[in-house]
Chains A and B, each alone.
Chain A
Amino acid sequence: MTVESGKTMLVGAVAVVTAATVFLPVCAEAEISGFEFNGIAPVGDFELDDRIGPHSVDTEHVINVEDCKKYSGSIEITWSVDWTPADGTKWGVKMSEPGGTCSTSDLSDLGTSCYQEMIQHETDMVSSTNNKFTIPMDPLMGGDCSAGTEKSTVIYIIINEAGVYSDQQIIFDVDLAGPTAPVLSEPSEGDSNVTVKWTDDANSNETDIRYRVYWSDSKFDDSNKDQDSVSRSDLITASSYKVPDLTNEQEYWFGVTAVDNADNESPLSAVSSAMPIEAYDFFEYYKDGGAGGRESGGFCFIATAAWGSPMAGDVMALRAFRDRFLLTWWPGRLFVKAYYLSSPPLAWVISKSEALRALVRTALWPLVQVSRFLNAAPAWLGAGLLFSIWLIWGLGVSMLAVTVRRRRRGA
């Protein structure tokens, strides 16, 4: 081999590599530029769950066992691109079998794990928007809702623009494998509540597993757990749940299901019964459990100090007035806040002197009577009277201020 022929081969090799580098991305199937998914609509007498991702903003498309049983017929997918197709641009749609793939380098070859019919045969692409095709649900979901499998079915939208193929994939996660039922532990009885606990080793490989607790005052099982007489919790991620608001000394039955990330619900666990039992919490035990504690709680400082107890009738009248008329509008709330900030030291001083307490009780007497009257009056009348009092008070203060200012100017 001469030096010249060697150079020629080298140049040739470089040219081949360069050409390959330049043209390879063009020959390979790229994603469709400017592709926009516009949504999924049902074709047939059924409704789509949000799980299938029917809206244009949705990026995940999930079908579970319940959907599989419900969906019949077809769905229509609409898509668009943000560019104007040139004359001669073609498009078509293929669909894989669940768990399979399709080739994206042509608009006819279906391969071995592709659904054996073109979803959309090669057709002219005449518009950038409102492109639609229809998919039969049965092959998309695999045809057997009790298959117990979780596979992805891929929709391939393929565009041939002057011999250059690009494609966009829409993936449907067809999850027909429900989780296993958790194992219920013995429920734990509380006061008006029962705590239900469970273990769930069988679903440890599942991600985002959640649980739902069922309970009723009569025995139930998986077949009738959806009856109105059976209550259910929201979905929870913990492995225990405290069922509140139960009647003490009544037997209740409890069961739990697991729910996977496709919202497939497991069969109900074995059910178990428990009976809530009346019990003292600390405050009840302190007050009523034999000890006879005197603390009565509450924050009504000055009146409590003056009357000696937060449970005194006059204090309760003032408290009711606060809750009904002061805490229901912002100036009242502001007043209450200012009162709570400033009154505790005053209350302490008052509580130390019987004479001061009597004086404050006398001073508060008109306010107590007004409170009692307004508390008993209809809300509109009470609010009206209160507003009138505020108005008169405001006018009085304003007139006083104006008078003082005039006198000062005069002086």
Chain B
Amino acid sequence: MRVVRFITAILVVATALPAFAESDRDMLLEIKFGPYHPNIDSEFANATPYADMMGGGSVLMSQLEYEYEVFNGLGVLSIGASIGYSQDSGHQKLKSTMQDSKDSTTFHIVPLKFDLVYRFDYLAYRYNVPLVPFVKTGFDYYIWWITNGVGDVPKSADGSTGRGGTFGGHLSLGLAFLMDFFSPSTAQNFDVDVGVNNTYLFAEYVMSWVNDFGSSNSFDLSSKTFMAGIAFEF
């Protein structure tokens, strides 16, 4: 009951917010962070080389996304691209005993994503409801490389090199909170001064399938994870 009252109060306050003339908006920049754990060990039935060396936990993934809004009507349709970085480190294994070496080895990943994005901000603009659900889908290309204890990219016994790229795709579902709701005057000044129309805090659930579209000869860098961050629409 309290929740309903709270939401009602927000809607009442929100719908009473004064409107002002905004500058044109056609781009959006997102900075977001979240946990990441590649699914490399799924390639094996009875081995877990990634977990053995890097551990079973997640590491921080940081991403920067740029979107260009191509349609602005009942919501916003955008095309976007993002770049990120994450790395996971662990101890090397002694060849003689398979015990942990004092040397470290690191797996570096630079995910490149190309998105089609839809943001349903009609309610935010029409009724000042500060919540904007969105969905993203697109292609991924993850560039990765591995470094050994002295920072070199290693080669395996068959001569293959520890760096490459893996294709995939993704689907994200998210919800953004329009920060302008808290202080419309500040938001207006932000627009007038630097041209930022809206500022969002957002969270998204990202499902990535990155394994060269099911190739059995590729790393499986897929993951299902949450990311959260801040977005500026300008």
Contacts and interface: CB of A to CB of B under 8 A. Distances in A.
Contact of B146 (A282, A290, A311): A282
A277 B215 CA distance: 35
Contact of B93 (A280, A287, A294, A297): A280
B146 A298 contact: no
A280 B43 contact: no
Interface string A15-53: 000000000000000000000000000000000000000
Contact of A286 (B50, B213, B218): B50
Contact of B213 (A188, A294, A295, A352): A352
A311 B213 contact: no
A178 interface: no
B22 interface: no
A278 B98 CA distance: 10
Interface stretch (A189-197, A220-228, A256-264): A189-197
Contacts of A298: 160-161, 163-164
Contacts of B47: 290-292
A190 B149 contact: yes
Given A188-B102, A191-B149, A244-B150, A295 B158 contact: no
A178 to B, nearest CB: 32
A297 B103 contact: no
Interface string B30-68: 000000000010011001011011100000000000000
B216 A279 contact: no
B157 interface: yes
A196 to B, nearest CB: 12
Interface centre among B43, B160, B161 (most CB of A within 10 A): B160
Given A286-B50, A287-B156, A297-B160, A281 B217 contact: no
A308 B216 CA distance: 11
A105 B185 CA distance: 69
Contact of B148 (A189, A281, A290): A281
Interface string B92-128: 1111101001110111000000000000000000000
Given A279-B149, A281-B149, A288-B156, A190 B161 contact: no
Contacts of A189: 101-102
Contact of A285 (B44, B52, B96, B159): B52
Contact of B94 (A188, A244, A277): A277
A299 interface: yes
A195 B213 CA distance: 41
Nearest to A188: B102
A279 B53 contact: no
B160 A281 contact: no
A52 B219 CA distance: 59
> How big is chain B's contact interface, by range?
35 or more
B160 A310 contact: yes
B138 interface: no
Given A190-B92, A279-B92, A280-B92, A242 B150 contact: yes
> How big is chain A's contact interface, by range?
35 or more
B174 interface: no
A283 B103 contact: no
A281 B162 contact: yes
Nearest to B103: A190
Given A277-B96, A294-B43, A283 B146 contact: yes
B105 A282 contact: yes
Nearest to A298: B164
A204 interface: no
Nearest to B53: A282
Nearest to A249: B96
Nearest to B163: A297
Contact of A299 (B50, B101, B154, B164): B164
B164 A297 contact: yes
A160 interface: no
A290 B126 CA distance: 61
B103 A279 contact: yes
Contacts of A299: 164-165
Contacts of A188: 102
B157 A287 contact: yes
A358 B217 CA distance: 19
A311 B212 contact: no
B54 A282 contact: yes
Interface in A284-341: 284-299, 308-311
Contacts of A285: 49, 52-53, 92-93, 105
A344 interface: yes
Contacts of B141: 344
A13 to B, nearest CB: 60
Contact of B219 (A295, A345, A348): A295
- When A and B form their complex, which 5 residue pairs have the shortest distance between CB atoms, in order from nearest? A283-B162, A190-B103, A281-B148, A287-B156, A279-B101
21 contacts: A192-B150, A244-B150, A277-B96, A279-B94, A279-B103, A280-B92, A281-B148, A283-B156, A285-B49, A285-B52, A286-B49, A288-B157, A294-B216, A294-B218, A296-B158, A297-B162, A297-B163, A298-B164, A310-B164, A344-B167, A348-B167
